[in-house]
Amino acid sequence: MRIKPIGDRILIKYKEREEVTKSGIVLPDTVKEKPQIAEVIEVGPGGIVDGEKVEMVVKKGDKIIVSKYAGTEIKIDGEEYTIIRQDDVLAIIED
């Protein structure tokens, strides 16, 4: 199944990281903080938001830093994704 966001929305997948304490204890998912680094899976076309034209700055495949509690979480075919607005993107990570 393919999802195409509309307007200034972006489909992302958070980068999961296994957290281990200095003493070697692996922290379960219930204790971990939500990651803020994600990969852009799909990008909407942009458009007009609040009467102003919005051009999309991010593109498919970009790694981004996202606001901590941004977006709507969805689950498709067993995979977890989040749909956010472009305003929720804090930065693009360049390699």
Whether the Cβ atoms of residue 12 and residue 81 lie closer than 8 Å to each other: yes
Amino acid 25: pLDDT: 75
- Burial category of 36 from C-beta neighbours within 10 Å (exposed 0-12, middle 13-18, buried 19 and up): middle
What is the per-residue pLDDT across 15-60, written as a single tens digit (0 to 9) for each?
876 566 678 777 665 555 667 899 999 999 998 878 888 899 999 9
Tell me the CATH number for domain 9-93: 2.30.33.40
Residue 2 has pLDDT above 80, yes or no: yes
- Per the prediction, the chain carries an average pLDDT of 87
**Beta carbons within 8 Å of 23's beta carbon, 6+ residues apart:** none
- Segment 63-91 mean pLDDT: 93
Ordered by start, the domain boundaries in the chain are 9-93
Amino acid 49: pLDDT: 76
What is the identity of the amino acid at 65?
I
- Segment 57-85 mean pLDDT: 94
Whether the Cβ atoms of residue 94 and residue 16 lie closer than 8 Å to each other: no
